[in-house]
Chain A
């Protein structure tokens, strides 16, 4: 055990991690979030870490030590979507219904897919601006915590099958620029996702 305390590598091999779970006090469903990113911490605690407080036998006050270990966090989530009897269930069975209403869910749920193949017909022209305008089909805030999100994103499928942010969003993320200023946010008045004028 003494070796584990002195060697980060040995400690990480021995200590596989902690499992953090939740259980509701009533029957309601809920989510509880942790932000383990270093940016979520303040300037006094700039690094996420596991701290082990070490004391000696009772009565002996000659030694007090704190061991700190960097942690490599992993997130494993399991979300179960129950769409039985919903409009979404019907739309998933008959995608033509998506011509009228389309759905976006987080947590690995439904996504809206738009095929843009026709824009390739503009191949001989210079593109000045392309803006996708989508309208929210319910009043914002009418569904409590399940109100529409303030910000949508757009991804495309890479050759390997992974989804990647489109360049317009990737630039904002890499530059830490607020999305709303240049990309559009949900506008309550206009009931749509649009750019701030």
Chain B
């Protein structure tokens, strides 16, 4: 999931909430739900990969 612009906004605006809420498209229309592996799962941890250039 590309969140590049959101991360830029977080860095630029210190007052912006740093909590990211994962939800489902068509939240009120489809009953589909998801179970995801957490950040500390031993095999499949969720990850945030950031590519940046040193300034």
Chain A residues with a Cβ under 8 A of chain B: 31, 33, 75, 77, 87, 98-117, 119-120, 122-138, 145-159, 163, 166-168, 171, 179, 182-184, 192-193, 195
Contacts and interface: CB of A to CB of B under 8 A. Distances in A.
Contacts of B16: 156
A152 B25 contact: yes
A115 B53 CA distance: 23
Nearest to B21: A155
A11 to B, nearest CB: 28
Interface in B1-55: 1-11, 14-41, 44-55
B18 A127 contact: no
Given A115-B18, A166-B3, A148 B32 contact: yes
A138 B11 CA distance: 34
A125 B28 CA distance: 39
B11 A123 contact: yes
Contacts of B24: 104-106, 149, 151-153
Contact of A149 (B9, B32, B44): B32
Contacts, number: 242
B25 A132 contact: no
Interface of B: 1-11, 14-41, 44-55
A128 B22 contact: no
A130 B2 contact: yes
A91 B50 CA distance: 28
B54 A116 contact: no
Nearest to B14: A120
Contacts of B28: 75, 77, 106-107
